[in-house]
Structure 1
């Protein structure tokens, strides 16, 4: 009888899958692809990585990445390769630059849905995929040119493949595990196998199957696949670039973890640094994390062990590491969403809908308070981020209240999911509009477009804070008195013409008396510039938020 019941349940899976796909596909499109190129590349990371891929495509040199046309070897090149392919297909623009991280974000959501469906937990997969796709922190990072979105995708696929192999024994998934792990290394280096090894090793020890499963894990073909993906570029780069091995393997991997890297291009933080950030990653679903403290009927206990280790190992690793960044713990969002989704389905199965209702109402309330506060009580100095119309707020509030009311009446989780997703969608559209309004504050697109036709462009001291300008210039700049950490290696190993001090700049200025020379200064360095002897040689032509464009003083004035 039980077997017939299971077969009957399986017969309905395609229909249930179609329902979830009907709900999930538009959510994925809006979250990851809607107006993906609607605003300029942001300074710092987006400008850096988008420009590296552009230079790679322009030069045809795919082994040693360059930034401002000097070597940049902090990370492996897989992200740059994929973005360069995107540029080749769609042109060099914001959409093409962000497409790879966005695809990574959507792919992870789809992958956990397929993974859970394979384990006959299709509702868990649907809940987890929608929660991830409507978590604002995750959406924002997935729409930015970062390594960590692609790293999360490949590391997650590797761990999901491992568990599928562990659970079912199919060798194909073990081989896929090795392949995805190799790709993760090619995204961000050897942090991927370290995290993978700690998670899998801890899981096998917990299951008391370490030695028996370890022998089966060490598949010769799988190892060969991993080596074939990882070794060629690392070997080629070591042979082609003198100093690569020490800088990449020791300085970038080991010394960064120990806070001994030179130059120091990161910031540190306390042990609890990632706790508030994790809460922000999944907003407005944050209250649902509290459900994990509730007891439910035991089910899928082995999978839960694996997921908890998957979350806690990166948390411990990055918390202990001296180098911190807001986005490092994105790698832990997949197990977090799966654990929350499993808890929701278990509570619904036990007819314990009240905790879910409370969490849903709290999520809706917090979302509306944040949104309404931004509209009705904008913070002084941040008016540019104020939502422009209350109508979307009222409409989403009505939808959310309706969804929670239906959940209360019907006791079906899909209504709660719809309610919180509506709040997330409204907040996301508002954030997207604010990003477009504040483009000049975060991006140098307009400045770069203006200077693109000029012959000589100099940056004073800063590069990272002005990096998006170079993407729109589509040519190198010369940096005066550089303080750039990202360009330090290139400054020492690359083209010395890309760097000069103030005295050399003054000499260049005097040797070219009638040529246009433009200087770009970030607000943080404007005081230093005004106190230097270059001050008398340049006038401020115009400014855009934090960026000042200066022209030489001895040329006739022109209309902008």
Structure 2
């Protein structure tokens, strides 16, 4: 197998070594034109001399491996076309105005193993067991070995923990950080990650506070988070539960562990109690998942796959505009992020045998359990094949540390909650949230609505699955394992919740592996694979025909309109068509364009073009959605009136039938007053009339009945979110005899 050698450095710098020069003299000449420490130069010389067999000790140290990687990075970022070199010592150095003739130099990729368009290059071994995938620097991925025969690390830093070719902390750390911060175009990973994070910030933070809360989950979590700040109930956040008729109680929320509520409370402590603060954690986790898509795609395949996967995730309609999606104050975006991090960590720890993966496993598992409870178990099902392959990794000290890190906080919270609340915890956390939901006969029709939730990317999934089949059938290098696992990941989540789920947001975790599958299809098409090109055009045709966003017709099996918050129209369709044309023609266009560019211009071109296209696609197919139509605007506005009209700590009475017909969490949050249930038929039993007036929320049809017992002033009337019509907020002055009777009844 080829590895970092003298030829790689010559190719990267464009300056050949002369026959009269020794390796040390050549490296010294290169070092004069770049800014690099003497220590790194000396270690680089030692590495190359050992590699060439010029030293008695062929063992390459980790410091030397770090140094050659750093040297190669610096050489790659240097513009040798515009630097002066010793022309007399260079037999044929490129001139300043010469054009870079090498075709298909693309810093964003290394060749796809799916793209088998011809014979292997001279750098590829004929032995299938020794095949590798060279990255953009010429360092081959997977299976690369050092002279010592040891398994070397991947270029992205994950691999054998005993030998790392990535840069380590040294005296040059601050200089390297400064170079990376000030030159993001030359640090491709940083440039792509910053692009995805910037696009995500626009799509998920902008207009985040332009609508009030949804009545159920959003307002529930927001109220519980504010309760933590007001009353310090960190272990068991409390809230009023106005959904069970007369019994409106201030109770602990035990349906899920409090992890997400903690994060929301921290956000409120920073930004203030507001819709933006409550939604900020979910939006942040959605953006971070876009960045994680790049990292996972980069690790399993290449940079281009990671960038496209990140764009697909961020522009998935359900993620940025769905109920309980990435722009709502609910647990699911955080759950997807932590679950995905867990799966990635298991792959690194068990497949790459890199102990650093255990850190991701620990954080991902603890986070998923603390924000979603037992629903996190679906991610454990996903990693079963990985664990069966690398089961030896269970029997390590690091894994024992992971188990302790995850179980101790969970066990501590469960123990405290059980001591305080007993069987109520078991009923709410296990019986109600797991057993009852899983056993409900009315499951959500995920397959019916998937074309709307994952539009337009769902139409490219058949071609992506064809790619998986072809790759597995041909055992194409090691890529078939990665693709097969990603496909299993997506199918596992979809099937699990098809059997047990009753809400659409449960399959949000499927959109992440779906994004990677579609991105691999797009990458294969961009590299000239005929089957992939046909699949891309097939997916485009399906989306234009069946998608309600920019389709030419509507078919009966898609009964619901596309999400009203997703951009639609001719512009969206035109951009999708343009991208398909560009992707399928890229393998032909790229070398034609590059032959007119200098080497430094090729570097910028290879990075800038994908970034520009990513921004264009992201901002066309998605937009910061104002989800106001989903909010419980009527009861929320009544809650705001209550907050302005009712003195602090004064109870507000909620008619039992009103709260029983529709959850009033939105009203409860915005009112921020104690709530007490009562019956309009027997108000004397529940209302404390020692203070007058009495403030109450009732259904409009109950107002005439209440007027018989006192004078009523209607302070607000709004449409309710239930079948009983309007909510009415009243100030109610009881008759004198009713006041006396009510007081006696309460006493």
Q: What TM-score does the superposition give when structure 1 sets the normalisation length?
A: 0.78
Tell me which of 675, 689, 692 is aligned to 1:477.
Answer: 675
C-alpha displacement at 1:314, in angstroms? Answer: 2.6
Match of 2:666 among 468, 477, 491: 468
> Contact 1:97 / 1:145 at 8 angstroms: preserved in 2?
yes
Mapped pair 1:195 → 2:378: yes
Unaligned runs of 5+ in 2: 9-122, 124-133, 140-154, 157-185, 241-249, 555-560, 591-608, 721-725, 736-747
CA RMSD across the alignment:
3.7
Cα 1:61/1:80, change in 2 over 3 Å: same
Cα distance in structure 2, aligned partners of 1:254 and 1:457: 34
Given that residues 279 and 327 in structure 2 are in contact (C-alpha distance below 8 angstroms), is that contact kept between their aligned partners in structure 1?
Answer: yes
Show CA shifts across 1:473-496 (max 9, x none): 12222233xxxxxxxxxxxxxxxx
Report SS of the residue matched to 2:664. helix
Does 1:421 find its partner at 2:618? yes
Partners of 1:506 and 1:534 within 8 A in 2: no
1:42 and 1:114 map into 2 onto residues whose CA distance is: 33
Instruction: String of CA shifts for 1:138-160, please: whole Å, max 9, x gaps.
Output: 11201112222111111111111
- Number of the residue aligned with 1:444: 635
Q: 1:20-419 counterparts in 2 under 5 A?
A: 20-21=192-193, 23-68=195-240, 69-119=250-300, 121-140=302-321, 141-192=325-376, 194-205=377-388, 209=389, 211-216=391-396, 219-248=399-428, 250-259=430-439, 268-270=441-443, 273-295=445-467, 296-297=470-471, 298=476, 300-321=479-500, 324-352=502-530, 353-360=533-540, 362-363=542-543, 369=549, 402-404=578-580, 406-407=582-583, 410=586, 414=610
| 2:207 alignment partner, SS class | coil
Q: How many Å separate the matches in 2 of 1:98 and 1:29?
A: 13
Distance 2:201 2:666 in 1: 26
Q: Could you say what secondary structure the match of 1:38 adopts?
A: coil
Residue in 2 that maps onto 1:459: 654
- By how many angstroms is 1:542 displaced? 3.8
Contact between 1:132 and 1:282, CA under 8 Å: does it hold in 2? no
In 2 relative to 1, CA 401–314 (structure 1 residues): closer, same or farther, beyond 3 Å? closer
Q: 2:718 aligns with which of 525, 544, 551?
A: 544
More moved, 403-412 vs 31-40: 403-412
1:326 to 1:308, Cα distance in 2 relative to 1, 3 A: same
Structure 1 residues 517 and 247 mapped into 2: Cα distance closer, same or farther (>3 Å)? same
* Residues 481-521 of structure 1: per-residue CA shift (max 9 Å, x gap): xxxxxxxxxxxxxxxxxxxx445534555845841423144
- The residue number in structure 1 matching 2:21 is none
C-alpha spacing 1:203/1:48, structure 2 compared with 1 (3 Å): same
CA contact (8 A) 1:399 1:422 kept: no
State the TM-score, normalizing by the size of structure 2: 0.60
Tell me which of 137, 159, 172 is aligned to 1:9.
137
- Deviations 1:213-235, CA, capped at 9 Å, x for gaps: 54459821111111233222111
Q: Write out per-residue CA displacement over residues 25-60 of structure 1, whole angstroms, 9 at most, x where no aligned residue.
A: 332112211111111111111111111111121101
**Residues in 1 aligned to 2:419 and 2:565: alpha-carbon distance in whole angstroms:** 53
Secondary structure of residue in 1 paired with 2:654: strand
Select the structure of larger CA radius of gyration: 2
The 2-side partners of 1:167 and 1:386 are apart by 41
Alpha-carbon distance change, 251 to 217 in structure 1, aligned in 2, over 3 angstroms? farther
Task: Note the residue ranges of structure 1 that are not aligned, 5 or more in a row.
Answer: 260-266, 375-381, 481-500
Shift of 1:300: 1.6
- On the 8 A contact 2:254/2:425 being kept in 1, the answer is no
Q: What is the rounded CA distance, in whole Å, between the counterparts of 1:230 and 1:469 in structure 2?
A: 32
Q: How many residues align?
A: 500
Change (3 A) 1:67 1:239: same
Q: 1:248 to 1:469 in 2, by over 3 A?
A: closer
Contact 1:203–1:309 under 8 Å retained in 2: no
Tell me whether 121-130 or 408-417 shows the greater mean CA deviation: 408-417
Task: List per-residue Cα deviations over 1:81-132 (Å, max 9, x = no partner).
Answer: 1101111110000000001111111111111212222345111111111000
Paired with 1:278 and 1:367, the residues of 2 have a C-alpha distance of: 11
State the Cα distance separating 1:8 from its structure 2 match.
Answer: 4.9
- 1:171 counterpart SS class: coil
**Structure 1 pair 372/86, CA: closer, same or farther in 2 (3 Å)?**
farther
Q: Distance in 2 between matches of 1:305 and 1:409?
A: 27
The corresponding residue for 1:484 is none
Give deviations 1:395-448, integer Å, cap 9, x for gaps: 6566556545544654689588666534422xx35x52xx34x47754633222
Equivalent-residue separation in structure 2 for 1:202 and 1:217 (angstroms): 22
Sort the Cα spacing of 1:510 and 1:132 in 2 relative to 1 into closer, same or farther, 3 A.
Answer: closer
